[in-house]
Amino acid sequence: MKIGNLIINDKSNTFIIAEIGINHNGSVKTCKKMILEAVKAGADAVKIQLINHNQSYQKGTKSYSEFKNKSFTFDELKLIKNYAKKLKTIFFATPGDIGSFYTLVKLGIPLVKISSGLMNNYPLIKLCREKKLPVIVSTGLALDKDLKELKFFLKKYKFKNFSILKCTSEYPAKVEDLNLNKIHEIKKLFKCTVGYSDHFLDYSACVASVFFGAKIIEKHFTLNKKIKGADHHISLQPEEFKKMVFDIRNIEKMLISYESNTLLKKIKINKTKFLRKIVALKNIKKGETFNLKNIGFLRLKSNQDSLEPKYFFSIENRQSCFNLKKGTVITKKHLSKIVK
């Protein structure tokens, strides 16, 4: 997946998104503060949800009440976007409806996120293709049938710059319902960059998902979990988010699949320091044969010309060419025949 000049693939760093959603509660000041804290915590991008509640939810529903008065005007969005640009972070959004999508296009966002609740809104997703915007699709409400239909749709309209996120649409998600193995299945099915969108209470699933191949992590972000609102309680506060980023970056280092020249040099040095060598355990007379009763395997104080234990079966029952004192490091010159 490509976002501007940024490429996200199996060899790249994990793309970590702080999902502000509507945790700003409609306040530009709060939203800007959240962006600042997310950047300080190590997020690569920040995301909000832009939703016209009248175009997305029926009156009387919980969602209608939750999203009412929590959107921004175009001018407010420009202020927020420019602030994010000043902080050198990627700012984008999830449009809840087609009207909001066109607002975001006008704003000039670099990519679009499609939420689990909109994963079957093919008209909205198709607009991303028409506007040549990278798109991330969450699949928290998808059965296998839905995933196959989504794949067919994306293939039909020749989507290339997209990513699919594994997600569990429970708030909070239970540990036994996370099913991180699904990341492998999604990657195999869509043959694209795959990520993970999390609703678990802590960040352990985000960290674990990186082991399963997730290259995009989306985690809800808040300034205070105790604030009233739908998503605050499943969000991470700045210090928690910072710890999550730290752990993910460490895991990326653990998963490096090549041996660097520096590492190889360290291994070679440590081999001479830590591998055992063949040493006389007692005085050995000239003509006496070598065996497990008179030789042992010791770690030496310094790197010396010596034989490693793997050569034992080549020298077993061979005669010593010299009288050897206890502690003598056995070398080829001590043997009646040269070890190959």
DSSP per position, 167-210: E---SSPPGGG--TTHHHHHHHHH-SEEEEEE-SSSSHHHHHHH
207/245 Cα distance (integer angstroms): 9
Q: What is the CATH number of the domain that holds 20?
A: 3.20.20.70
Residue 257 pLDDT? 67
**Lowest-pLDDT choice from 22-36, 174-188, 222-236:** 222-236
User: Of 254, 273, 306, at which residue does a domain stop?
Assistant: 254
3-state secondary structure of 237: coil
**Lowest-pLDDT choice from 113-122, 127-136, 181-190, 299-308:** 299-308
Note whether residue 55 is domain-resident: yes
| Domain enclosing residue 314, as ranges | 262-334
User: Of 227, 254, 281, at which residue does a domain stop?
Assistant: 254
On average, the pLDDT of the chain sits at 94
User: Of 209, 237, 254, at which residue does a domain stop?
Assistant: 254
64-76: per-residue pLDDT in tens?
Answer: 988 888 889 999 9
Pairing mode, if any, of strands 45-50 and 90-95?
parallel
**Same domain, residue pair 296 and 195:** no
**pTM of structure:** 0.85
**Same domain, residue pair 120 and 156:** yes
**Same domain, residue pair 317 and 191:** no
**Same domain, residue pair 244 and 278:** no
Q: What is the CATH number of the domain that holds 271?
A: 3.90.1210.10
Contact 45, 18 (CB under 8 A): yes
- 227 burial via Cβ count (<10 Å: 0-12, 13-18, 19+): middle
Q: How many domains does the chain have?
A: 2
**Same domain, residue pair 238 and 287:** no
282-335: per-residue pLDDT in tens?
Answer: 999 999 999 999 999 999 987 778 899 999 999 998 999 999 999 999 999 999
DSSP per position, 103-133: HHHHHT-S-EEE-GGGTT-HHHHHHHHHTT-
Name every residue whose Cβ is closer than 8 Å to that of residue 124 and which is 6 or more positions away in sequence. Answer: 95, 97, 98, 101, 114, 118
Average pLDDT over residues 222-250: 94
**Same domain, residue pair 250 and 266:** no
**Same domain, residue pair 180 and 202:** yes
Residue 317 pLDDT? 87
Note whether residue 324 is domain-resident: yes
Token pair belonging to 92: 């984008």
**Same domain, residue pair 249 and 324:** no
80/91 Cα distance (integer angstroms): 9
Note whether residue 339 is domain-resident: no
- At 173, the pLDDT band (50, 70, 90 cuts) reads very high
